[in-house]
A and B are shown apart, each in its own frame.
Chain A
Amino acid sequence: MDALEPQAAKRRKKQAGPTNWRAILFLMPSWVLLLIFFFVPTILTFYFAFTNMSLTGINAAQSQFIGFTNFVNMFDDPNFRNSVVKTVIFLIFSAVIGQQVMGFLIAILMNGRNSGFRSVIGSIVIAGWVTPEIVCAFVWFAFLNDSGTLNTVIEALGLKPVAWLYTFPMVSVIVANIWRGTAFSMMVFQSALGDVPREVEESAMMDGASGFQKLVRITIPMILPSVLTNMILITLQTLGTFTLIYALTGGGPGNSTEILPIYMYRQAFVNYQLGYGTAISLSLLVIGIVASLIYMRVLKVKI
């Protein structure tokens, strides 16, 4: 049975008449909104990737259809290849591992604790998430720069300060992104854990399962659908991270933190090569899809 559909066997089969009509009615608003404001622009975007459209210069006046030229250039470009690698590293460590583990840890520890305490801790974690991305970048710059908070503390402990942003740029942006994004995973897991029926847990405990066994054998499988959803969602979100890194390291030093969104922005809005930039963003899409398919395989969950 699909882990995602505990009710699957009980799903109603009869679809005749009014039931169908209801389904259509309920789905209508979504369909309309998505069609107009989402799918149509997306298709236009796909089209741009095959042109040499630019925001200014002669190609702004008349852009031409250039077929796969953008894509050929893309694969030829060593900067592009570097970007892909950096993006995957960033994705794995900051989202798949970092935010998920952290979010899960917090959610499970908070389960059943004192409500006031939960609010305090939760709010602190959320503060990172709701702070505007540009401010996050400044907050972390203030924390990690040569005379920043972290080095001040390190010096106070008598150790040598480190130029974090220069020597460990990737680690720096990964940590900053974990700080920023954990709240989302935390909330998803909180709700998911809240849905786990108490009786299931109680009966497991009565059967003699230890805390850890209970976790692995019972709780996690029950929330697996949420785990999958969460992984896909934060993957797609993380793939779009831009402002945080751009303002923190600028993609540097060199291009050591130039993940695809930054590289794409440079091409589309700094060099004004909109067509090329759009082609690059399509590769982001591909990475997102591939990653999601991998998750579904590994977790053995289907929709």
Chain B
Amino acid sequence: MGNKSKWLGTMIVALSVVVSACGGNSATPGETGAGNTGGAGEQATKTIKVAYGKWNEADRWGEWLKGVKEEFEAANKGVKVELQAIEGSQYATKIPLLMMDERTAPEVLAEDSFMINADSEAGYLEELNVASWDDWKNFNEGIKAAVTANDKVYGVPFSTDVRGLYYNKQLFQQAGLPVPWQPKSWNDILDAARTIKEKQPDIIPFWMNTGTAGQEATTMQTFQMLLYGTQDQMYEDGKWVVKSKGLLDTLNFIHDIYSNDLGPKLSQVLTAQAGQVLETDLMPNQKVAIVLNGNWLTGNWGESGGKPWPEALDVYDFVKMPTQNGEAPGFTSMSGGWTLAVAKKSAEKELGFEFIKMAINEKNNKKFAILDGALTPRTDVAKDSEYTGQKGTLYGVAADFITYTHVRPANAEYPSVTSVAQEIVEKVATGALTPEAAMNEYAKNVERTVGADRIVSKQ
């Protein structure tokens, strides 16, 4: 027994080692970033790497990029395109690692617009010469701001998103509230929530992301949707605004909702899977009347979503979030968005930019937007009826929101500041802090993180 299994073991080890060594050897120089086998004067094969996030089995981005790859290779003889899919949920961690070294830096990468500032400071991104690109004029101006740092453009947007209010038409009708509904101020929202609470005590009147576990989902869909509807901002003139009337009012709104029992149970909304529960359980089972969230929720309810629900948009309508008291411009929204960028340490940067221009031209972007269920940043596609008319999506509606949208302060300190924002949202909701105390804590903690010279107080 000893003999045989020892030999068997040795064979298996040898086999594994050989197989993996073969696998290892296939990482030829051509696959690493710097290796283009072009020699002087020969008909060289150039390779460009395109890195992107694979978000689920359907891999929509991959599908889109494969189409572009074929078109690009046909139009550019001697150029090979290599697609590199990265697990979406870990994308943000992996991409800086790839960009930091010329051996792995991809020519084209999907870049979250929000990281552009930090990544350009780190020397990871190549400035794009959009001035000489005619097609650039067809991109939404508001979104262009999100991809510009120090007056230089580092990415071309290909998708974006907006946030607003979902409300349940049936529940509203049953409670005697007007349908269609468009609140014009925060008080309108509170009034509607109170009516629901009175007439439909088993229903959650108003849901907004509240937990630190939700991370950016809490900051963007709640904190900033409220704050940017006031007269104050999170970051102004190069400094973090740590105390302001707008901030206090924001925290008071959160306090009002939770102290009057107008929100979800804390045990539901503060967990790491709160979003899951909301999207696959509470909304399809119509247990919640108003939801402050983003346009992509519909993705859950499509055929390939986690909880297919064809009647979703017959039941829930999506309307704009009003400013605090209806002040101009009347509504507000927040947008994130993805772009394609060129890594500074990659080898074939011009080719990379050419690829991007093709990938996000009108034809390909429309194809992508319809495929992925994304909101387009292009003004021409946004008007295209084939795009806006898709069933089960909110494009026709949501495109309007972009006019009112804001983007996050995209500087390197943001990640630390946003954590503090999430903490105080949670503490106000649980009642651990009063709104005033929470604002003080915000000021104290932000100061501790970014330094006293980076903050300003307006109260």
Give A residues with C-beta under 8 Å from B. Answer: 54-61, 76, 141, 145-147, 163, 165-167, 246-255, 266, 269-273
Contacts and interface: CB of A to CB of B under 8 A. Distances in A.
8 contacts: A61-B121, A166-B270, A251-B213, A253-B212, A253-B266, A254-B426, A254-B427, A272-B96
B282 to A, nearest CB: 10
Contacts of B119: 56
B94 to A, nearest CB: 10
Nearest to A258: B212
Contacts of A76: 448
Contacts of B97: 55
B313 interface: no
B155 interface: no
A56 B426 contact: no
Contacts of B277: 145
A59 B413 CA distance: 12
Which 3 residue pairs are nearest across A and B when measured between Cβ atoms? A250-B213, A163-B267, A57-B412
B268 interface: yes
B122 A60 contact: yes
Assign chain B's interface to a size class. 35 or more
Contacts of A147: 281
Interface in B393-434: 412, 415-416, 419, 423, 426-427, 430, 432
A251 B268 CA distance: 15
Contact of B267 (A165, A251, A255): A165
A79 to B, nearest CB: 9
B213 to A, nearest CB: 3
Interface string B211-226: 1111100000000000
A253 B215 contact: no
Contacts of B416: 271, 273
B273 A145 contact: yes
A60 B96 contact: yes
A57 B272 contact: no
B43 interface: no
A61 B119 CA distance: 10
A147 B268 CA distance: 10
A250 B213 CA distance: 5
A254 B432 CA distance: 10
A163 B268 CA distance: 8
B100 A246 contact: no
Contacts of B123: 60-61
State the main secondary structure of chain B at its contact with A. Answer: helix
A138 B5 CA distance: 38
B212 A251 contact: yes
Contacts of A251: 212-213
A166 B415 contact: no
Given A145-B273, A270-B419, 9 more contacts: A57-B122, A58-B122, A250-B211, A250-B214, A251-B212, A252-B211, A252-B270, A253-B212, A271-B416
B268 A250 contact: no
B3 interface: no
Nearest to A134: B89
A163 B272 contact: no
Given A141-B273, A249-B271, A57 B118 contact: yes
B213 A249 contact: yes
A162 B213 CA distance: 20
Contacts of B459: none
B265 interface: yes
Contact of A56 (B124, B268, B272): B124
A147 B271 CA distance: 13
Contacts of B448: 76
Given A163-B267, A266-B419, A269-B93, A254 B121 contact: no
A165 B269 CA distance: 11
Contacts of A248: 272
Contacts of B412: 54, 56-58, 272
A253 B430 contact: yes
A166 B264 CA distance: 13
Contact of B124 (A60, A145, A165, A269): A60
Nearest to B212: A252
A56 B211 contact: no
B115 interface: yes
B401 to A, nearest CB: 28
A272 B411 CA distance: 12
A246 B273 CA distance: 11
Contact of B271 (A60, A166, A273): A166
A250 B212 contact: yes
Nearest to A62: B123
Given A165-B271, A250-B213, A271-B419, A57 B265 contact: no
Interface string B89-102: 00001001100100
Nearest to B416: A271
Contacts of A273: 416
Contacts of B211: 250, 252-253
A247 B412 CA distance: 26
B96 A270 contact: no
Contacts of A61: 121-123
A269 B215 CA distance: 13
A255 B118 CA distance: 27
Interface string B245-276: 00000000000000000000111101111000
B272 A250 contact: yes
Contacts of B272: 141, 246-250, 252
A215 B100 CA distance: 58
Contact of A255 (B93, B212, B265, B266): B212
Given A251-B212, A270-B215, A270-B415, A163 B265 contact: yes
Given A56-B122, A246-B272, A252-B272, A166 B266 contact: yes
Contact of B118 (A146, A246, A272): A272
Nearest to A61: B123
Contacts of A60: 96, 100, 121-124
Given A55-B96, A56-B412, A266-B419, A254 B212 contact: yes
